[in-house]
Structure 1
Amino acid sequence: MTTPDKTVTSENIFKKIISHAKEYGFVFPSSEIYDGLQAVYDYGQYGVELKNNLKTLWWKSMTQLNDNVVGIDAAIFMNPLTWKASGHVDGFNDPMIDNKDSKKRYRADNLIEDKADEYEQAGDVKKAKDLRAKMNQLLGANDLKGVYNLIVEENIKCPLSGTANWTDVRQFNLMFSTKVGSVAEEADTIYLRPETAQGIFVNFLNVQKTGRMKIPFGIAQIGKAFRNEIVAKQFIFRMREFEQMEMQFFIRPGEEMKWYEQWKETRFRWHQAIGLPAEKLKYHKHEKLAHYANAAVDIEFEFPFGFKEIEGIHSRTDFDLTEHQKLSKKKMQYFDNDLNENGKPYGNYVPYVVETSVGADRLFLATLCNAYTEETVGEGDQQKERIYLKLHPALAPIKAAIFPLVRKDGLAEKAQMIFNLLKYDFNVIYEDRDAIGKRYTRQDLIGTPFCIAVDYETMENDTVTIRYRDTMAQERVKIDELSQKIGNEVSFKRIFDKLS
C-alpha cells in the first residue's frame, strides 16, 4: 500500500480551509470585484464574529483576570520621532532577493527557512538546524553577500520559475509612509505604525500616574499594524494590514527572567484553554535576538503548512523607554518606594518590560484550521462525508439557530418567539428555508454549536429539540431552560476556569 504524501495532504486540506472560509462568509479577498489586492483580506459576517470573540476573550483574560493589567487604545498615527527612537526608521528591514526569470521578489530568510523545513520533513533535523544557524549568523553580521551565497549553495530555486537566477540580496524597509498637512509641498512624512507596542511605551507614565499603578503592572492593547511585506503568503498568515493583541508588562530591573518565564507559561496554557491541542503547540526559542531583547520565545501552532508562530513572548529590557527618554528629553522613570532586601527604597529607575504579542489574524487562522473537521458518518450504503467547524462554543460566531419544522400551523411564530427570547443574550439566527436536514448542515459548516427545532410537540408542551453539533445527538428541552443551558456552554467562564 502506498503511504500518502503528508505534504500533499496538508496542502489539500489548507486549500479546502481557504475555500471554506470564503464560501461560508469568514474571509474574502479584499476588493475582489477589482481583482483584489495582494495580501489584503476582508472578514465576512461570520469571520468578524469569530475574530471579535477571540479578541474579547484575550482582552478579558488580560484586563479582567489580572488586577494589575489595564488597557488603552493608542492612535495609529504617531509623531515620526517615535519610530526613530524605536529603531524602525534605521533598522526595520528584511533581506530581499528577486528572481530574474519570474520577476518575483522574496524574503531571503524565508527561502532558506523553507529549505530547512524540507530537510526536517525528510528527517534530516541536524541539517535543518545547521542551515538555520548559518543563516542567523550571516543575518546577525548583516552579511548579505553571505546570505546570497548560502541560497546558491543550497540550490534554492524560485517556486514559480523553477530557476536559481537570483539578484543580489539587499535590505528593504517595511514601513508604509504617508503625508500629513494640507499642502503637499509642506506636508510632513509620517508612518503607518508597524507595531502597536510603541503606543503603549509613549503612554507609560500617563497610564501609571492616572491609574496610580504600582510596578509590576501591564498595559494591553488591540490594534491594527501595517508592514509592506513583499512576499505575503499562506492566506491571512502574513498580511500587509493585520491586527495585534499586545501586552507590555513593566517590572523592576533584574526581575525580567522571572516574569518572562511566568508569562511564557501563562500564555501557552491560554492557547490550550481556547481549544488548541497541546500536541499542536510548541515553543521555539530565538537564537538570534532582536536588538531590544535579552530573551525571546515563540509559541508555534502546527498549521497545515507546518509549525509557525502565533505569539511571541519577549524580554525587551529597558530599551524602548530608555530610547524614548533620550530622544524626547522627557523622563520615563518610575519612583518605587517599596523597600528592597536591604530595607531601602528602590528609588527611581527605568522599568524593564516583558511583552506578550499575539497576531489576531494568525490566532483566527489557527482556530479555523483546528476547527475544520472532515469525518465519515453512517454505515454501509448510508455512509457519507460530513464537514463541520468544531469551534469552542464560546468562540462560535452563532451560538444557536432556531428552526420551525414547517412554516405553518403556528410553528414559525413559536420559533420567532424563541428567537426573540434568546437574541438579547446570545448571537442567534432564525431560519425556515429548505428541509431541516439542510439547515442543520449549513449551521455545521459555520460552527454553530446548537440547533433548536420547533415541532408540533412544542405546541403541546413547550419543549423543543436541541441538536448538538459535534455529536449530532438530540434531546428534548423546555423552552424556559434554553437560556441557562446555552449560557453555560457558551460562557467565557468555561475557558477562564481552565486558566485558574
Structure 2
Amino acid sequence: MLTMFMVVVRCCSSLSMETIVSLCRKRGFIYGSSEIYNGFNGFYDYGPLGAELKKNIKNEWWVEFVQRSDDVFGLDSSIIGSPLIWKASGHVGGFSDPMVDDKKTKRRYRADQLFYKKVGDAYVTVHEAEKTEECACLVDAPPDVFAQLPPPDDPRRPGDLTEPRDFNLMFETNVGATDASTAYLRPETAQGIFVNYKNVLSSSRLRLPGGIAQIGKAFRNEITPRNFIFRSREFEQMEIEYFIKEDDWEPRHAEWITRCKTWLLKIGLKDELLGYDVHRDNLAHYARACTDITFKFPFGEQELQGIAARGNYDLTQHQSASGKSLEFYDEVAKEKLIPHVIEPSIGVDRLFLALLCSAYEEDGDRVVLKLSPLVAPVKCAVFPLVKKEPVLTLARRLYEDLREEFACDFDVSGAIGRRYRRQDEIGTPFCVTVDFDTLDDNSGFP
C-alpha cells in the first residue's frame, strides 16, 4: 500500500537558531568541526543527511542553470591559483574588515559590527543585535570618544579597545619550499571564472550573451564567524558570470533576479520569507547595480543571494595585469569589446540553512521538516508493517528497487507511527507501508 503521510501542522513562528542547531546535531545534518578536539570555530562538518541535502541543492542548481541552459557552461577551477590573480582583482590590497581587540582578553571584534552610545557621562559599546536608534557605528567614532569606549562584553573598562585596523580576510598558504612562495586560498570563486573566460570562449560555444557557472569552496578568515553556517570561514558558492554587451545590462539584470527567485521557490523556500534589498548607496566601486534576495532567518532578515551588474572591471584588470587579451570579437558589429557581466551568486551553506528554517514546522511535540522532494536527503522510506515473512521480503524487494533511483531508507524498528515520526523529522516526503493488503493485491508492484 503506497501512502503519502500528510499531517496538518502549525508554522513555528518563534523558531530559534538553537532549535535548528540542535536538530542538525541530533539527526546528523551538521556537526561542529573537530569536535573530539573541542571544536574549531568557524568550520563545520556535514553528516549523512547533511551531505545528501547539500548534494541535492548543488545538483538542482546545476541542472537548472547549466544542464538546461543553451548559453551557460560549467567550470571547476582550482582553489589555489597564482597570487597575481588576487593582486589584479584588488583582494591583496583591499579585501579586509576593520578589526578591534580587547586589550585585556585579546578577544577580537569586527568594528563595523559594533556600535556605541552615551549613557549618562559614560559611553557603552554594544553588538549589532543590541543597537538602538541613538547608536552609531564604532568605525565612525572620533578619536576622543574612541579613547573612552569599553569592550562590548565588559562596560567597566573604558578605553580597553584598540584602534580599528584593517584585517585581510584571505587565508595565506605556501606553495613549494621557499618563503617567497606565498599564495592564497581563494576567497571567492568568481576570479577563477574570469581568468578562464578566454579558454572557455575558445573551447566551447560560449558567445554573448552567455555564461560560465561554477560550484566550489571558498575561504575567508572571518574575524567573528556567527549564526551557525550563515557566516563561516569555509563555505561553498554557486556562482555564474553571465557575459553581456554593456548596453544590455539592465534587462539582463532584471531577468536574472526573476530567474533566481523562481528557482528558490521551486526548491521549497516560502515566498513570504523572501524579500529584496536593492543596493543604492553602498555599491562596490565597479558595480552598476546589485539586488540581494533576502531571507527572514531566526536572527533577522539577511542576504541570501546577490545578483550584481558587475561591469567589466575584472576582465579589464586581468587583461591589464597579465598582458593577455580578454576581448571578445563581435562578428556582427565587427568590433572588439571587453564584456560586462551579470553575477548571480549564492552560498550553498546559507541556502542549506534557509531551507531548514523554511521547512521547519511543529505539530504538538512533533517536528516536521516539509522539504521539497527535489532536495530532501531521503526521498522515500519503506516500512514493513511486521517483521514477518512474506511481508518483510516484499518490503525489502521494494526498497531495493526504489534505491536504484532514489535515496531511500528501510526501517523495521519500533511502531509504525514512530517510524513515520522519524521520517517527518528529517523531511522525507514519501513513505511506503507494506502490509497484508499488499500480499493480496500486490499494490505497488509490477
1:61 Cα deviation from its structure 2 partner: 1.3
1:157 Cα deviation from its structure 2 partner: 5.8
Q: Tell me, yes or no, if the aligned pair for 1:148 and 1:168 is still in contact at 8 Å.
A: no
Aligned to 2:16, what secondary structure does the other structure show? helix
Cα separation, 1, equivalents of 2:276 and 2:150: 27
2:259 corresponds, among 263, 266, 269, to 266
Unaligned runs of 5+ residues in structure 1 are: 1-8, 139-143, 339-344, 377-384, 464-477, 481-500
- Relative contact order: is structure 1 or structure 2 higher (C-alpha 8 Å, sep ≥ 6)? 2
Q: Tell me, yes or no, if the aligned pair for 1:21 and 1:27 is still in contact at 8 Å.
A: yes
Which residue does 1:167 correspond to in 2? 162
Cα separation, 1, equivalents of 2:305 and 2:259: 12
Which residue does 1:77 correspond to in 2? 80
1:119-268 correspondence to structure 2 within 5 Å: 144=139, 146-147=140-141, 158=152, 160-161=153-154, 165-181=160-176, 183-185=177-179, 188-268=181-261
1:117 Cα deviation from its structure 2 partner: 5.6
Distance of aligned partners of 1:396 and 1:390 in 2 relative to their CA distance in 1, 3 Å threshold: same
Which residue does 2:4 correspond to in 1? none
2:90 corresponds, among 67, 87, 97, to 87
Q: Which amino acid aligns with 2:240?
A: M
Unaligned runs of 5+ residues in structure 2 are: 1-12, 117-125
2:442 corresponds, among 445, 462, 471, to 462
Q: Tell me, yes or no, if the aligned pair for 2:66 and 2:72 is still in contact at 8 Å.
A: yes
Which residue does 1:42 correspond to in 2? 45
1:53 Cα deviation from its structure 2 partner: 0.8
Cα separation, 2, equivalents of 1:231 and 1:115: 12
Name the stretch that deviates more: 266-275 or 444-453.
266-275
Which residue does 2:341 correspond to in 1? 353
Cα separation, 2, equivalents of 1:102 and 1:37: 19
Distance of aligned partners of 1:215 and 1:279 in 2 relative to their CA distance in 1, 3 Å threshold: same
Deviations 1:199-256 (A, max 9, x none): 0000101111111322000100000000101100100111111000000010112222
Which residue does 2:328 correspond to in 1? 334
Cα separation, 2, equivalents of 1:453 and 1:166: 63
Aligned to 2:382, what secondary structure does the other structure show? strand
Name the stretch that deviates more: 354-363 or 422-431.
422-431
Cα separation, 1, equivalents of 2:438 and 2:215: 45
Aligned to 1:262, what secondary structure does the other structure show? helix
Which residue does 2:122 correspond to in 1? none
Deviations 1:161-219 (A, max 9, x none): 356642211100011111111x345x511110000000000010111111132200010
Q: Tell me, yes or no, if the aligned pair for 1:219 and 1:247 is still in contact at 8 Å.
A: yes
Which residue does 2:369 correspond to in 1? 389
Which residue does 2:62 correspond to in 1? 59
Q: Percent identity over the alignment?
A: 46
Name the stretch that deviates more: 272-281 or 363-372.
272-281
Which residue does 1:435 correspond to in 2? 415
Cα separation, 2, equivalents of 1:360 and 1:179: 28
Aligned to 1:76, what secondary structure does the other structure show? coil
Which residue does 1:367 correspond to in 2? 355
Q: Tell me, yes or no, if the aligned pair for 1:147 and 1:169 is still in contact at 8 Å.
A: no
Q: Tell me, yes or no, if the aligned pair for 1:40 and 1:239 is still in contact at 8 Å.
A: yes
Aligned to 2:361, what secondary structure does the other structure show? strand
Deviations 1:294-342 (A, max 9, x none): 212211100000001111111111100000001100001000022xxxx
Which residue does 1:280 correspond to in 2? 273
Distance of aligned partners of 1:162 and 1:429 in 2 relative to their CA distance in 1, 3 Å threshold: farther
Which residue does 2:10 correspond to in 1? none
Q: Which amino acid aligns with 1:78?
A: G
Q: Tell me, yes or no, if the aligned pair for 2:381 and 2:411 is still in contact at 8 Å.
A: yes
Aligned to 2:342, what secondary structure does the other structure show? strand
Cα separation, 2, equivalents of 1:156 and 1:300: 33
1:418-497 correspondence to structure 2 within 5 Å: 418-463=398-443, 478-480=444-446
Alignment: residue pair count: 422
Q: Tell me, yes or no, if the aligned pair for 1:63 and 1:69 is still in contact at 8 Å.
A: yes
Q: Which amino acid aligns with 1:285?
A: V
Aligned to 1:479, what secondary structure does the other structure show? coil
Distance of aligned partners of 1:148 and 1:429 in 2 relative to their CA distance in 1, 3 Å threshold: farther
TM-score scaled by structure 1?
0.80
1:110-125 correspondence to structure 2 within 5 Å: 110-112=113-115, 118=130
1:109 Cα deviation from its structure 2 partner: 1.4
Cα separation, 1, equivalents of 2:423 and 2:312: 50
Distance of aligned partners of 1:234 and 1:150 in 2 relative to their CA distance in 1, 3 Å threshold: farther
Name the stretch that deviates more: 265-274 or 191-200.
265-274
Aligned to 2:166, what secondary structure does the other structure show? strand
1:316 lines up with 2:282 in the alignment: no
Q: Tell me, yes or no, if the aligned pair for 1:404 and 1:411 is still in contact at 8 Å.
A: yes
Which residue does 1:6 correspond to in 2? none
Deviations 1:126-174 (A, max 9, x none): x78xx6xxx6xx9xxxxx5x3566996998962x435664221110001
Q: Tell me, yes or no, if the aligned pair for 2:296 and 2:302 is still in contact at 8 Å.
A: yes
Distance of aligned partners of 1:461 and 1:351 in 2 relative to their CA distance in 1, 3 Å threshold: same
1:32 Cα deviation from its structure 2 partner: 0.6
Cα separation, 2, equivalents of 1:349 and 1:151: 51
Cα separation, 2, equivalents of 1:111 and 1:188: 36
1:14 Cα deviation from its structure 2 partner: 1.4
Q: Which amino acid aligns with 2:315?
A: L
Which residue does 1:486 correspond to in 2? none
Distance of aligned partners of 1:424 and 1:351 in 2 relative to their CA distance in 1, 3 Å threshold: same
Q: Which amino acid aligns with 1:223?
A: G
Cα separation, 2, equivalents of 1:162 and 1:366: 35
Aligned to 1:327, what secondary structure does the other structure show? helix
1:112 Cα deviation from its structure 2 partner: 4.3
Distance of aligned partners of 1:336 and 1:154 in 2 relative to their CA distance in 1, 3 Å threshold: farther
1:291 lines up with 2:285 in the alignment: yes
Aligned to 2:307, what secondary structure does the other structure show? strand
Q: Which amino acid aligns with 1:33?
A: I
Q: Which has the higher helix share?
A: 1
Cα separation, 1, equivalents of 2:431 and 2:148: 54
Cα separation, 2, equivalents of 1:62 and 1:90: 33
